[in-house]
Amino acid sequence: MSAGQAPPVYLAPMAGVTDRAFREIAREICPAVRVVTEMISAKALLRDNRKTWAMLALGEEAPPRVVQLFGRDAEEMAAAARILMAAGADGIDLNMGCPTAKIVKNGEGAALLRDGPQAVAVARAVARAVPLPVSVKCRLGWNAAEADTAARLAPRWEEAGVAFLTVHGRTREQFYAGRADWAGVAAVRAATALPVVVNGDIASPADARAALEVTGCTGVMIGRAALGNPWLLAAAAAELSDPAGAWPPPEPRERARAALRHLDKLLAYKGEYIGAREMRKHFGWYCKGRRGAAVLRAAALRAETAAELRALIRETYRHL
C-alpha cells in the first residue's frame, strides 16, 4: 500500500502544547501527519484579539492549515470560519469535546453534546459558511448514561455537511480517567457513512493498528503519547502503511537535534522569555523514561535562558 492510501495519522490538538513549533516538529519527523491548531475561541477571533491571531500565524505555516474553533453560537462560529478562510485556513475543526469547567459552563466544548440541536446547528452553519472541509471532534457523550450521544448525532452531522468526525472514546465526566472506549467509537462509526478518526489512549504503533481493527475507523489521532515523542507519529504511520516494515527508533543524536530545533522554533515564535519557559515542559517530556529524568526535569525548571536549556539538552543526549 502506498503512503497516499495509508490510513491517516493525526496529531491531536492540545491547548498549550501543539502550537506552531510542535506542529512543525511533528511534520518534519512525519511529513504525512495531519495537524490541527490548538482550540481557538470564535468570540476572540470576532473581537480581533491580537493574542489569538498570534497563536494562529496562519499565513506562515505550511498548508494544509486546519484550525480548531470552539464556541456555541452558530452565527458566531460561521463568521469566525469565514474570517479564518480569508486568512488562509484550509479546514475548520469544531471542538465539541473540551471537558474543562471554564468552557462547558458557557455551553461550549463537550457541553454541546448535551444540546443536540445546537451541536447540529453549529456544524450546519459553519459548513454552509465556508467551502472547506468542516470536521467535528467530540467525545462519546456527557456521562456514562449519555455515552451514545455521538452515535446519535453522527448521522445528523453528516446531513449537516460535516466532512468527517474524530471521536475521543471517553465521556466528558471521565475527563482523562479510565481507558478510552474504542467500542464506543466503533458505534459512532457504524452510525454514519462519514469517515471517523479514532482517538484516545493510542500509545504505540500496535495500539494504532488495534484501534483501527476494533473500530473500523479510517484514521487514528494521537495526543499525549506524542508529547516529547513525535517519532511515535511516524512509527504509527509506518505501521499502518506496512506492518511488515520496521521503523527504527531514533538515535539519541536525532532526539537531541529535534529537541534543539523545537527550542529554536519556540524562541523564534514566542521570544526568549516565553519560549524558554515553554520548552521546560517539552524537555521534561523528551526525557520521559530516561535514566535520571527527574533530575533533568528539575534542572530544566531552573533554566532561565535558552543557552542554559540548549546546554542541558546537549548534555542529556551526550550520555545516552
Nearer to ligand FMN by Cβ, of 38 and 73: the residue is: 38
Nearer to ligand FMN by Cβ, of 174 and 192: the residue is: 174
Is 98 tagged catalytic? Answer: yes
Any idea what DSSP says for residue 171?
A: E
Looking at residue 274, its amino acid is I
Q: Which residues bind ligand FMN (CB under 6 A)?
A: 12-17, 38-39, 68, 95, 97-98, 137, 168, 199-202, 222-225
Tell the smallest beta-carbon distance from residue 98 to ligand FMN (Å): 6
CA distances from 98 to 88, 112, 211, 271 (A): 25, 10, 22, 29
Nearer to ligand FMN by Cβ, of 14 and 83: the residue is: 14
Tell the smallest beta-carbon distance from residue 222 to ligand FMN (Å): 5
DSSP 87-150: TT-SEEEEEE----HHHHTTT-GGGGGG-HHHHHHHHHHHHHH-SS-EEEEEEEESSGGGTTHH
Residue 167 pairs with which residues in a beta bridge? 138, 198
Tell the smallest beta-carbon distance from residue 221 to ligand FMN (Å): 7
Nearer to ligand FMN by Cβ, of 14 and 87: the residue is: 14
Indicate which residue of 30, 98, 217, 287 is catalytic. Answer: 98
Tell the smallest beta-carbon distance from residue 320 to ligand FMN (Å): 26
The number of C-alpha atoms within 13 Å of 198 and in the hemisphere containing its C-beta is 27
At 27, phi and psi to the nearest 5? -75, -30
Nearer to ligand FMN by Cβ, of 224 and 290: the residue is: 224
CA distance 81 to 67: 9
CA distance 303 to 240: 39
- 68 with 95: CB under 8 angstroms? yes
Residue nearest ligand FMN, CB atom distance: 223
Nine-digit cell string for 63: 498548508
Tell the smallest beta-carbon distance from residue 152 to ligand FMN (Å): 20
Enzyme catalytic residues: 98
